[in-house]
Amino acid sequence: MRVFVWSACFALAAAAIALLTFPPSESTGDGTPLADITMPVLSATAEKGAILFDRSCASCHGAEAAGRDGVAPPLIHKIYEPSHHGDESFQIAVARGVRAHHWPFGDMPPVDGLSREDVAKIVAFVREVQRANGIN
């Protein structure tokens, strides 16, 4: 009996580790969201940013910046917290594009048609959603 309990525990732990290591949603490469997002009530500025994000970024980064598997990463992710990717890194990403370095999704091309003020609104949106998801 004791042996049975231990092997059951072991099997459960192995299954949990397998799930943590290979989350089902992270290997499909088909555009499924890569993060589970809680949407906060947005400030007026962030609302404007959300509209711009929807228009210029969501095709790759996904609705709610949750990422799209095989396309682009979630910006609601610890990698993009303010101390690692400050607001200026968003300005540079939009103006010059990004060479792939954190993810296996290829380069991000520069995005046309957005002023620095527009990008600042997008950043306000991303930061508010980050905070609502425990990323500070």
Q: Which of residues 81-110 bind ligand HEC (CB under 6 A)?
A: 85, 89-90, 93-94, 98, 100-103, 105-106, 108-109
Residue 14 vs 106, nearer CB to ligand HEC: 106
CB 108 within 8 A of CB 16: no
Q: Which one, 98 or 132, has the nearer CB to ligand HEC? A: 98
Q: Minimum distance between the CB of residue 65 and ligand HEC, rounded to whole angstroms?
A: 9
| Whether the Cβ atoms of residue 52 and residue 46 lie closer than 8 Å to each other | no
Find the shortest distance in angstroms from Cβ 6 to ligand HEC: 43
Residue 35's nearest CA partner among 124, 106, 133 is 133
Of 93 and 132, nearer to ligand HEC (C-beta) is: 93
In 38-134, alpha helices (H) = 44-56, 58-61, 87-96, 116-132
Give the residue with the Cβ less far from ligand HEC, 4 or 35.
35
d(CA 74, CA 79): 9
Would you say 25 and 70 are in contact if contact means Cβ atoms under 8 Å apart?
no
Q: Is 63 in the site for ligand HEC (CB under 6 A)?
A: no
Neighbouring residues of 109: CB distance < 8 A, sequence distance ≥ 6: 97
Contacts with ligand HEC by CB under 6 A lie at 56-57, 59-61, 72-73, 85, 89-90, 93-94, 98, 100-103, 105-106, 108-109, 111, 114, 122
